[in-house]
Amino acid sequence: MERTDLPIAVLDSGVGGISVLRELVRHMPHEDFLYLGDSKNAPYGEKTPEEVLHITRENLKMLLARGIKALVLACNTATGAAARTLRAEFPDLILVGIEPALKPASLLGDRPRVLVMATPLTLKQEKFCTLMARFCDDAEILPLACSGLVELIEAGQTSGEKLENYLKTLFFPHRDTKIDAVVLGCTHYPHVKETIAKILPAGVAILDGSEGTARETRRRLAEKGLLKESGEGRVTIENSSGDERLLSLSRQLLERE
């Protein structure tokens, strides 16, 4: 098989990366995608960086053995913990990661106040501290660790009272702060964007990095002459847990706008 015809692998700790897959398909409709949700090991955000690096490396080796032309690490936590090391270990691989969308958020007006929702591990990592240092003159950045939110989403709670109560408690300490933007710094969170918007005051911008990641993936493939420009692309979704409920949730989330 020609290298151009191989699928693009998309990896996340569960159903989160489906929010990135949606953008990838939109930007590259002729490509085949192999999505692996590693729900067996979720949540990554409560693990150590070493554990996340080990798990991500093992998943990558397995995907490479099956034949892929690129890897999209559709997980902010795994990108922070593993992308740099894996790029050094696999120098020929096109590896695109995702990071909290601080750059577009910092452009929203005069020193906007930006709340960054992410997993505890993402916020603890050097990669995030460097990113925050880069934009702290342009925006007031308030990191907000969201322990337990990934578990709710993996359980299929993408709307409803339980999710609303969780979010109300999460935002409570910021009730008297005027927030200009919220960055969804975990790929699971766009799946609950409507509920987040409902709870926040009107006019707060909500951003995520999925479109930027899709554009970057397209650019990197084109640069290497590996972009497929005809034929109908196929999407294959797998989950390490083997749980049919998670596969069906993944498919439903992919169809959602």
The yes or no reply on residue 77 touching ligand DGL (CB under 6 A) is yes
* Number of neighbours of residue 89 by Cβ within 10 angstroms: 13
Of the listed pieces 36-44, 140-148, 155-163, 215-223, which binds ligand DGL according to CB under 6 A?
A: 36-44
Q: What share of the chain is helix, strand, coil (3-state, %, to 5)?
A: 50, 15, 35
* CA 27/CA 217 separation, integer angstroms: 9
Between 6 and 101, whose beta carbon lies closer to ligand DGL? 101
Count, residues near ligand DGL per rule CB under 6 A: 16
Give the phi and the psi of residue 100 in degrees, each rounded to 5: -55, 135
The yes or no reply on residue 119 touching ligand DGL (CB under 6 A) is yes
Q: How far is the CB of 186 from ligand DGL (least distance, A)?
A: 4
Q: 172: which DSSP letter?
A: G
The yes or no reply on residue 75 touching ligand DGL (CB under 6 A) is yes
The yes or no reply on residue 213 touching ligand DGL (CB under 6 A) is no
Give the phi and the psi of residue 124 in degrees, each rounded to 5: -85, -15
The answer to whether 183 and 100 are in contact (CB under 8 A) is yes
* CA 171/CA 152 separation, integer angstroms: 16
Q: Give the x-and-dash track for 159-198 against ligand DGL (CB under 6 A).
A: ---------------------------xxx----------
Q: Which of 7, 10, 21, 44 binds ligand DGL (CB under 6 A)?
A: 44
Between 7 and 43, whose beta carbon lies closer to ligand DGL? 43
Between 212 and 226, whose beta carbon lies closer to ligand DGL? 212
Of the listed pieces 40-48, 202-210, 227-235, 246-254, which binds ligand DGL according to CB under 6 A?
A: 40-48
Give the phi and the psi of residue 121 in degrees, each rounded to 5: -70, -40
The answer to whether 52 and 127 are in contact (CB under 8 A) is no
* CA 158/CA 249 separation, integer angstroms: 10
- State the residues that interact with ligand DGL by CB under 6 A: 12-13, 16, 42-45, 75-77, 119, 122, 150, 186-188
